[in-house]
Amino acid sequence: MQSFEHTPPEARELLPRRISELGLRLEGGMLEKYVQQLHSELDAHGLRRFRPGVYLSDEWACPDREPIIGVPFYLADPKLQALERAINDLEDEREILMYLRHEAGHAFNYAYCLYETKEWLDLFGPFDRPYDDHYTPIPFSRRFVRHIAGWYAQKHPDEDFAETFAVWLTPGSDWRRRYRGWPALRKLEYVERIAGELADVPPRKEPSKAVRELPVEEMASTLEQFYRERLPDEDSALADLILDGELEDIFLRRGEELRPASAFLLDHRKIIIDKITYWTGVRRSLIKKLIESIGKRARDLELMVEKKREAEHLAEVVSFATVLAMNYLVRGRWREV
């Protein structure tokens, strides 16, 4: 967990405040626009009777078997967005809509109790299978769609359905062409058919305020406590990783128009983390820590990038970090001993 000293001063002064006392509301802010877009997309796909509730919470979530969507509270306030961006990278507009579509998939499943039907179980698997936060995905499996990062549809049958629904709902996804010949196409065709059958059917289960998990008005911790407790400690996983030799191959000490490699990595940090997480499935917090460790070691070694070769440096460091991540995914360690 990085210190708070590099966070924006106007956001840092909020750290001692209890989250429940910040007066955060979903209505009237940026998030309301995205919820309205979600509703427009549901209308465009014929789901006129399905409107999941949305509330502010600690993270993206849909309470078990309840058709209501939890959205991270920090998205409701510009100062909190700046704090989240400094500590953990902030979702952009594209990512917010991706998460909303995914959670809407859970809510649709729960609203119509699809997980109880034989056809759903035959296609997606046992709904009551235990969750495994450290699941090992099969990269590039064509039995599953791709939507949010991390081969996430492979985590659990419920996530498989939510990801399938999100791909189906996304405007312009052209899922019939993209998934032609994939076993996953059967799942998409199921969503298309069942949505048509339920277009004018009221949900069997309506959202209720009583079942919200950790709504923002009940979040008694301070902002500082929230952030210190939220992110896992990834230091131990990287403690023995020595990068010097490879980094000295990737970066330079002499050349023309040089700039520090650490500053270069900081400029490209979010896109590097996003893409490695997306393609490898290794949890984002660990990839973030890996890239931060590479940047710190490059600074300690006083390594540089040559401006005319920045594209080459970027491709090489992403390739290197991806190989490390795949080693970790498959073997449980970054490199062979």
Q: Tens of pLDDT along 50-63?
A: 999 999 999 999 99
Residues 110-167 have pLDDT tens digits of 999 999 999 999 999 999 999 887 778 888 899 999 999 888 999 999 999 999 999 9
* Residue 1 banded pLDDT, cuts 50, 70, 90: very low
In angstroms, rounded to a whole number, what is the distance separating the alpha carbons of residues 319 and 275? 11
Is residue 15 packed enough to be buried (19+ CB in 10 Å), middle (13-18) or exposed (0-12)?
A: middle
Q: Phi first, then psi: what are they for 55, rounded to 5°?
A: -145, 160
In angstroms, rounded to a whole number, what is the distance separating the alpha carbons of residues 46 and 40? 10
- What kind and span of H or E run contains 35? helix 30-44
Residues 12-31 have pLDDT tens digits of 888 999 999 999 999 888 89
Q: What is the mean pLDDT of residues 295-313?
A: 93
Angle between helices 284-300 and 310-331 (to 10 degrees): 130
Is the pLDDT assigned to residue 237 strictly greater than 80? no
First to last CA, the chain: 27
Is the pLDDT assigned to residue 276 strictly greater than 90? yes
* Residue 209 banded pLDDT, cuts 50, 70, 90: low
What is the residue-averaged pLDDT of the chain? 91
218-228 as b/e, with b when 16 or more CB fall inside 10 Å?
Answer: ebeebbeebbe
